[in-house]
Amino acid sequence: MVETLRESKMLPLNAVYNLLEENELVTEATLLRNSIPGSELSKRRAKRGMALEVLRAKDLLDKFINESWPYGATDAGKARIARYDKSYEEWKISKSDDSGDEIEDANPDADRFVYENDLQNYLAKNLGLLEQGMTLWPVTGSEKAVEFQLEGGRRIDILARDRDGVPVVIELKVSRGHERVIGQALYYRACIREKFGVPIVRTVIVAREIDAELRIATKELSDVQLFQYQLSMTLTKI
């Protein structure tokens, strides 16, 4: 009975994995599953701290607490969250100090971003890589061009505009871009067209790999562009 009560207070990792996968964040769920292995209390707490960081980055923490972990909304739960966060920070510091333990590589593919928000942040600062003259969409008040908020809680990864002032909906997939992405992107495009009363909204989809089905699905859509990204490293002796 005591063990059951204790477990109900712990952040349920399986519920985190399920929520990420339900929101098409399969890569993030897989990386989280494989991260910080070990049964030590410090590592178990650190892993839950990492889970909290991912949920915050995806604006899913409130949804997770409301639906899967109501204990997290209590004062005691908030204190537990703070302990998880502290354990994760301590774990990261211990790894950066090169204590002799190998850092587990949760991402076996060195040529892809670890999390979608890494790709998102990079492109938001380098939109010229997609097209010369492309910039973030000008926003007002509390609006943000990155994670642009739509009615109903949906968010566009990046809302940009080209050099002619045409809105550009940019959808990102850190790993594979499949045919279902286009349905989501076209929905966002329609929302932007209605919101701003513009006749044209372009769509850009960026992924590490664009599969054949997505290529076929967008073949006759002249205002949709597909990009595959690759990473490289340059070392400079100092």
Give the model's pLDDT for residue 63: 93
Task: Confirm or reject CATH 3.40.50.300 for domain 116-228, answering yes or no.
Answer: no
CB atoms within 10 A of CB 83: 12
Letter for the amino acid at 89? Answer: E
Model confidence, pTM: 0.53
Buried b (16+ CB within 10 A) or exposed e, 32-48: beebbeeeeeeebbbbb
Domain-by-domain residue ranges, the chain? 2-96, 116-228
CA distance 12 to 62: 14
The pLDDT value recorded for residue 177 is 65
pLDDT at 179: 67
What lies within 8 Å, CB to CB, of 151 at 6+ separation is 191
Question: What is the rounded distance in angstroms from the CA atom of residue 116 to the CA atom of residue 58?
Answer: 9
Across the chain, which has 238 residues, the per-10-residue mean pLDDT values are: 55 93 86 86 91 88 93 92 88 60 40 63 89 92 88 86 94 72 87 93 88 85 86 69
